[in-house]
Structure 1
Amino acid sequence: MGTPQTEPIVTARGLRKRFGTTQALDGLDLSIPAGTVYGLLGPNGAGKSTAVRVLATLTRPDEGSAVVAGHDVVRHADEVRRKIGLAGQHAALDQELTGRENLRIFGKLFHLSGRQARARADELLERFDLADAGDRQVKTYSGGMRRRLDLISSLIISPTVLFLDEPTTGLDPRSRTEIWETVRRLVADGTTVLLTTQYLDEADQLADNIAVIDHGKVIAEGSPAELKSRIGGRIDVVVGPETDLGKAAVELAAVTGTEPDTDPDERRLSAPTGDEAVSLAAVLRRMDQAGVDVEDIGKRTPTLDEVFLELTRKPAKEVRR
C-alpha cells in the first residue's frame, strides 16, 4: 500500500504523561499524513492507548503538544471532538437495543435531529452490510458484528480522523477480515485512521506507515517494507534427520554472525543475514565442509513480527532510526 504524500493531519511533539510512578509517554513525536492508515505498535504498557487518549482529548498531557485536524488537543478540545471518532477495545453498545436503535442514540448524542439520526443510522447499516441485522437486538449479534456496529457508531458525524484502539481483539479470523475491509472503505472515502493493534499481520495488511513505540517514545518509523528492510533478509535452512541441529546452528552462526532460531520439530534454522553479502553458496559451503546434510535452503524477507521483536528487544538508543 503506497503512502500518499500529503500534509500531516495529526502531529504530536514531545508528549509526556505520567501516572503515579509510571511514565506512560516520554517525549512521543508523531506525524500522520491525511488519508492514510497509521499503525501504532508496541509491547503491552508501551504507551499506545495513552497516546490515543491524549490525541482524542480524553487525557491531558503533562508536557508537549498535539494538533488534530488543525486544532490543539488541549486548547481546542471541543473542536477536536467534532472532527474525530473513537472505537476502543470494548464495544460501547446497549445489548438490549437493536443495532438501529443504538445508532440513533449515538446520533442524538451528537446533536442530530431525530430525522437526521434515523437517516444516518439507516445509511451506515446499509453501507457496512448490517441492514439485515439492524432490527435485531445487539445481544444476538456475533462478536464480529458487534465490533463492526461499534466501529460504525463512531462514524455518525463522518469523522476526519478515526482512532481505532485494538479494534479486532478477541475476534475470529473471518470477523477480523470484515473489520479490515471496513477500515479500507473508510480510508478510500478520505478518513485518516490511527490504528493500535496487537496483531502484527493486521498492521502489515492495513498500515501505510507504522510507528513502533517502547517505553513511551517512538523507536522506529516507516512503511512495513521499510521496517522489514532495517533488519535485512533471513536465511532458512532445513537439515536432514541424521544431522545434529546444534552443530548446524554453530555453522550457520559462523557465517551470519548471529545465533539462529531453531525449530527442532521442523529441523529448521533461521538467522538474519544483516549483511547482504551473506550468500546461500557461502552457507552451503560451510555446511558441506562440516558434514551437515542440508535438505532445503532459502532467503526470505522477515515478517513484521520478527521486525517487532528485533526492535523492541534492543535498547532504544541502539535502534537505527
Structure 2
Amino acid sequence: MNDLHVTDVTYVVGRPLLDGVGLTFPAGRLTALSGPSGSGKTTLLSIAGGLLQPSAGSTAYAGAPMWRGTGDPRPEVAFVLQVYGLVPILSARENVSIALRARGVPAREADERAQQALARFHIADLGDRQVEELSGGQMQRVALARGLCVGAPVLLADEPTSELDEGNRSLVLAELRREADQGSVVVVATHDPAVVEACDLHFALDEGRLVDHTEPVHLKPVHLKPAAPAPVAVSAARPDPSAPVSPAVPPTADEPKAPTTTSDGDPHSAFRRPGAGG
C-alpha cells in the first residue's frame, strides 16, 4: 500500500489559497478534511489529485509526482466532485459506464459494472433515468458510484454526503470505509461533524493553513489498569449456638456510614471548481 504525500504545498491566485500545507493521507485509512467555506479544502484535493499545479511544494504517490503537466489526474486517482460532473443527457448508468470505458473497459462489461456500482448505493432501479430527472441526493450517489466503480487506489471525495439524509449518509460512509479497508487512500472533504467522527484521521484547514490533525477518541489507545486479583473464598466457621450474640456497634465519627445508593456516570463520550477554495 502507498500513502499520498503532500509536501509544503502553497497555491496562490491573487492571494494564497494554500499556505505551506504538509500532510500525509495514509492508505487503508478513512481521512476527513474539514474547514469552513473558503478554507482551501477543494484546492487541496485538486492539487493532491493532480488537477492543479501547486505554486510551491509537491504531491506524490508511489514515488511519482501527482502533477503531470496536463491537469489530467493519474489513472490511480478517482474523484467524486462536489458539482457531480455528470452529463445531464445521459442516463445514470451511462454516466458511470463512461468512467470505465475511458479506462479501456469493454462497453458491455462497463455497463454491467456500472449497474453493480449503482446497486451499492441502492439506486440500481434508476439506471435508465436521465440524470436531469434525478434529485440532488440521487445525483450525488451516481457520482459516488462512478468514483468507486473504477477501483482506483486513491479516492478523493469533496462533500460526498452534503445532499443525503442520515440513512444514505451511513450507507455512503460504509462504502467509503469498505474502500479504505481494501487498502485505498480515501479522503473526504466535509463540513459534517458526523462524517468527521466516522473517519480514522482528521485534518482541519482554515484560511489555507493546516490548523489541526487529530484521531477520533475511538482510535486512540486505551490504557487500562490491571484488574485486581479475585478475593480468595474462605469458608466461614460454623457458629457456636451457645456463644452470646454481640450487639451491633454504631459507626464512629471516623467511620462514616456506607452510602445506600450509587450514581452511574456517563461512560463517555466534492467539488467546487479548482481554485475556489473549500
* 1:218 corresponds to: 210
Alpha-carbon offset, residue 40 of structure 1:
1.0
* 1:202 corresponds to: 195
1:202 alignment partner AA: V
* 1:272 corresponds to: none
Please state which structure has a larger fraction of its residues in strand: 1
User: Could you report, residue by residue, the CA deviation over 1:100-131 in whole angstroms, capped at 9, with x for unpaired residues?
Assistant: 22222222233333233223223323444332
Q: Scaled by the length of structure 2, what TM-score is found?
A: 0.72
Is residue 2:196 matched to residue 1:182? no
User: Could you report, residue by residue, the CA deviation over 1:3-49 in whole angstroms, capped at 9, with x for unpaired residues?
Assistant: xxxx75111111011111x2111110111221111111122222111
Instruction: Name the CA distance, whole Å, in 2 between partners of 1:65 and 1:102.
Output: 32
* SS of residue in 2 equivalent to 1:171: coil
Gaps of 5+ in 1: 1-6, 229-297, 303-321
User: Could you report, residue by residue, the CA deviation over 1:137-183 in whole angstroms, capped at 9, with x for unpaired residues?
Assistant: 33343332221111111234211010011112233333323322222
User: Could you report, residue by residue, the CA deviation over 1:44-103 in whole angstroms, capped at 9, with x for unpaired residues?
Assistant: 222111110101111100111111243211258789520011012122223333222222
* SS of residue in 1 equivalent to 2:17: strand
Greater C-alpha radius of gyration: 2
How do residues 109-148 of structure 1 correspond to structure 2 at under 5 angstroms? 109-148=102-141
Task: Pick which of 100-109 and 121-130 moved more.
Answer: 121-130
* SS of residue in 1 equivalent to 2:148: coil
1:91 alignment partner AA: Y
Is residue 2:45 matched to residue 1:52? yes
Q: What percent of counterpart residues are identical?
A: 32
Q: Higher relative CO (CA 8 A, sep ≥ 6), structure 1 or 2?
A: 2
Distance 1:50 1:175, change over 3 A: same
**Any conservation in 2 of the 1:68–1:80 contact (CA below 8 Å)?**
no
Is residue 2:165 matched to residue 1:165? no
2:19 alignment partner AA: D
**Any conservation in 1 of the 2:18–2:207 contact (CA below 8 Å)?**
yes
- CA RMSD after TM alignment: 2.9
**Any conservation in 2 of the 1:8–1:32 contact (CA below 8 Å)?**
no
Distance 1:120 1:78, change over 3 A: farther
Instruction: Name the CA distance, whole Å, in 2 between partners of 1:17 and 1:134.
Output: 39
Please state which structure has a larger fraction of its residues in helix: 1
Distance 1:181 1:144, change over 3 A: farther
* 2:257 corresponds to: none
The count of aligned residue pairs is 228
Gaps of 5+ in 2: 221-264, 270-278
* 1:107 corresponds to: 100
* 1:285 corresponds to: none
Instruction: Name the CA distance, whole Å, in 1 between partners of 2:19 and 2:71.
Output: 25
Q: Scaled by the length of structure 1, what TM-score is found?
A: 0.63
Distance 1:100 1:299, change over 3 A: closer
Is residue 2:8 matched to residue 1:14? yes
* 2:243 corresponds to: none
Is residue 2:142 matched to residue 1:149? yes
